[in-house]
Amino acid sequence: MDLAYGEEYERFREEVRAFLAEHGKDAPPQFSRGKSDAQSRAWQQLLIEHGYAARTIPKEYGGYGAEPDVLKAHIIAEEFAKARVRAGHIGDDRLVPTLLELGTEEQKHAYIPPTVRGEMRWCQGYSEPNSGSDLASLSTRAELDGDEFVINGQKIWTSGAQHADMMFCLVRTEPDAPKHQGISYLLFSMDTPGIEVRPLVTMTGEATFNEVFFTDVRVPASQIVGRRGEGWYVANATLKHERGGLGDPNQAETRFLHIVDMMRNETIDGRPLMEYPAYRDRLLKLQGQMLAMRFNGMRILSHAIKGEEPGLPRWIVKLNGCEMNHQMAGMAVDLMGELGVLYHGSPHIRDSGLWQQRYMLDLGLIIGGGTAQIQKNLIGERALGLPKEPKVPPQA
């Protein structure tokens, strides 16, 4: 197997490294919990200008306008991870590719430029109280009234809804159609009359999720993505990007390198933790998992270069990535010893409680975006061709 990139790509790698050496100091903190502040927006704009964010998004939609090149995209992600510099994060990495693929020209011009610049924040209206794992059974309804849809219902576990400017939302527009065929995908402002957001405080101590209620919310019919009743197809295009992002091997490598630093700097009886075999063994196990995910990413990259569907390698990304991130956060908490149990407000807390917060958030992400159990079923049934899980008959 030849893993060499070739002269052209190695020159590009040196360009990326030179940019990071010059501008890396201007980046927001690597773990700033996704805050869209002035520093983050300025950093995003700098990355777009140099082609390190929104790289293949056409210039007319606010991007850099480069031709797609999966190797260059991989090199950018790899070098930013090694330098521990935050890559571009502003701009919804689920909605934008969905609009590029399925949106109208009017929608692309209206929503993509402010989104990639970080001026328009989005939330995802998918899950409902009785429609989480079985998303296609959602019941939030949108009835056409003239040239507007009128929405009534509820969403839950809506990340960032209390801060979002816009929502992309699944609603049932054909109540009599089979459940996968009666759904539509709408875009609308969170300032639309009739929307109520109620934050949900999680075990992290923060309100990262929300309940969202809709009462006679009127949305122009032109703000549908795709055709009416085909929202399930559009939603799956979005979920494909969400699940890939949740298991990003480059982000996992950045976290791993942070843990290596901790083991070199934290001490017990004056000795660095790196000198203790029990900690080194645990670190090596995590490194093995991280490298396996990295090489699985390269396998997916090889399929992309050939224009092939990766199959099983793509299916395992979210499952393995989320579980590995939780294990790494758990190790970081353990490395801090008694300080690892501290949380917000303590004068002795390390890294502003980053790893404690990540440990609990990453546990939730094993559920979010499709639970680990659901992911295993998908891998078994769709990727490996195994028989479907037996259904328990309803009780009389």
Per-residue pLDDT at 301: 76
Indicate if the pLDDT at residue 246 is higher than 80. no
Active site residues: 242
Q: How high is the pLDDT of residue 146? A: 95
HSE (side-chain half, CA atoms, 13 Å) at 191 = 3
pLDDT tens sequence across 88-136:
655 567 899 999 999 999 999 999 999 999 889 999 999 999 877 778 8
Tell me the C-alpha distance between 148 and 144, whole Å.
6
pTM (2 d.p.):
0.80
CA 80 to the chain's CA centroid: 17
Asked if residues 151 and 219 have their Cβ atoms less than 8 Å apart, the reply is: yes
pLDDT at 345 over 80: no
Task: Answer with the residue of higher pLDDT: 367 or 265.
Answer: 265
Q: Is the dihedral of CA 108, 33, 322, 297 positive or negative?
A: positive
Does residue 245 surpass a pLDDT of 70? Answer: no
**What is the rounded average pLDDT of the residues 336-341?**
89
pLDDT at 211: 96
Q: Which of 102, 96, 92 is nearest to 234 (CA)?
A: 102
Looking at residue 14, its amino acid is E
Tally the C-alpha atoms within 13 A of residue 28's C-alpha that lie toward its C-beta.
21
Q: How confident is the model at residue 190 (pLDDT cuts 50, 70, 90)?
A: very high
| CA proximity to 222, closest of 195, 186, 194 | 186
pLDDT at 285 > cutoff 70: yes
* pLDDT value at 393 more than 90: no
> What pLDDT is recorded for position 244?
56
Instruction: Please tell me the distance from the alpha carbon of residue 374 to that of residue 385, in angstroms, as a whole number.
Output: 15
Of the chain, the percentage scoring pLDDT greater than 90 comes to: 52
- As a whole number, mean pLDDT of residues 316-324 equals 89
Which of 56-70, 143-157, 309-323, 351-365 is the most confident on average? 143-157
pLDDT at residue 325, as a whole number:
92
Q: Is the dihedral of CA 353, 326, 302, 91 positive or negative?
A: negative
pLDDT of residue 33: 46
Among 24-38, 109-123, 158-172, whose mean pLDDT is lowest? 24-38
Helix segments in the chain, DSSP class H: 7-23, 38-50, 70-83, 95-102, 105-116, 231-246, 249-265, 277-306, 312-335, 354-365, 372-378
Instruction: Give the model's confidence band at 34: pLDDT under 50 very low, under 70 low, under 90 confident, else very high.
Output: very low
* Average pLDDT score over residue span 147-167: 95
Mean pLDDT of the chain: 88
Percent of the chain at pLDDT exceeding 70:
93
